[in-house]
Amino acid sequence: MQQSTSTSKTKTIWVTGASSGIGRALAEKLALQGHRVYISGRTSQTLDDIVQQFDSTYGSKATINSGSQLIALPCDVTDDAAMVNVLQQAGVQDLDTIILSAGTCEYIDLPNLDINMIRRVNETNYFGVVNACIAALPMLEITAVAAKNASRERPHIIGIGSMSSYLGFPRAEAYGSSKAAMSYFLESLRSDLGDRMDVTVVYPGFVKTPMTDRNDFPMPFLVEVDDAADIILRKAVRRPLTIAFPARLNLLLKSMTLLPRLWYSGISKRLRRSGAGS
């Protein structure tokens, strides 16, 4: 996924939320491109099974230095204390790219405005991203120094946000706010990092994964997970500030952000019965 300006084509990449869905698809595709990919999720066994399945499917294509291209790195992104040293403890010395895909989705059903649920969703989707950045920044900085003397490409932080943060969707008080917070955090981080690192925030519409398999409302322009990963990887090469797909849903929702808030309020009341976007 990196541009050819780099002198070393093999990158070290960390993908959180790589035990399923978008994160897993991205991690496997990157490993197949020859990169060394650390994959995270909360359950060791699930990650080990993914590594084993990947190696047995792709055989020698999937090995680097007689080990797998995929390396299991179990962690819970909400565990502040454990996250600080998670990469050091795994022996990671430097990183080229991090992909922050760990996430969860729960919907509000009024009148139950559940503070515990709102905290839980924000712990994973927002503070989980913050924790992963705290863990990874020292390693990304090492790469940034090497990039200054052109021996490496600049490090890249990619966060998987959501179009739900564009507008206040019904039932998305927890999920949408967590995604708005993480996008803002990453945008702010980009400003502070200056030209040392690139930061891309990805805004998917609906992607078919275990997360959306639970949804009981219509999901317009649903994208297959494999296609979603291909789109992200293809676009990420140019290191844009944002990646949003599918284009038609993005256009529709972006146009709605331009409407006077009063008009949107009328539309959103009609959306309420059909549920919120993930």
Ligand X SMILES: NC(=O)c1ccc[n+]([C@@H]2O[C@H](COP(=O)([O-])OP(=O)(O)OC[C@H]3O[C@@H](n4cnc5c(N)ncnc54)[C@H](OP(=O)(O)O)[C@@H]3O)[C@@H](O)[C@H]2O)c1
Residues that bind ligand X (CB under 6 A): 16-23, 41-43, 46, 76-78, 101-105, 124, 128, 160, 162, 204, 206-207, 209-212, 278
Q: How far is the CB of 10 from ligand X (least distance, A)?
A: 24
Read off φ and ψ for residue 275, nearest 5 degrees.
100, 180
Residue closer to ligand X by CB (options 73, 95) is 73
**216: which 2 tokens?**
């009981």
Q: How far is the CB of 260 from ligand X (least distance, A)?
A: 26
Q: How far is the CB of 51 from ligand X (least distance, A)?
A: 14
Residue closer to ligand X by CB (options 128, 155) is 128
Q: Please, are residues 47 and 17 in contact by the beta-carbon 8 Å criterion?
A: no
Q: What sign results for the dihedral spanned by CA atoms 144, 146, 148, 153?
A: negative
Residue closer to ligand X by CB (options 76, 198) is 76
CA distances from 116 to 81, 111, 174, 176, 258 (A): 21, 14, 10, 16, 33
Number of Cβ atoms within 10 Å of the Cβ of 189: 17
Q: How far is the CB of 128 from ligand X (least distance, A)?
A: 6
Residue closer to ligand X by CB (options 143, 164) is 164
The count of C-alpha atoms lying within 13 angstroms of the C-alpha of 259, restricted to the half-sphere facing its C-beta, is 16
Residue closer to ligand X by CB (options 95, 174) is 174
Alpha helices (H) along 13-111: 21-32, 44-58, 80-84, 86-89
Q: How far is the CB of 9 from ligand X (least distance, A)?
A: 27
- The single-letter DSSP state of residue 72 is E
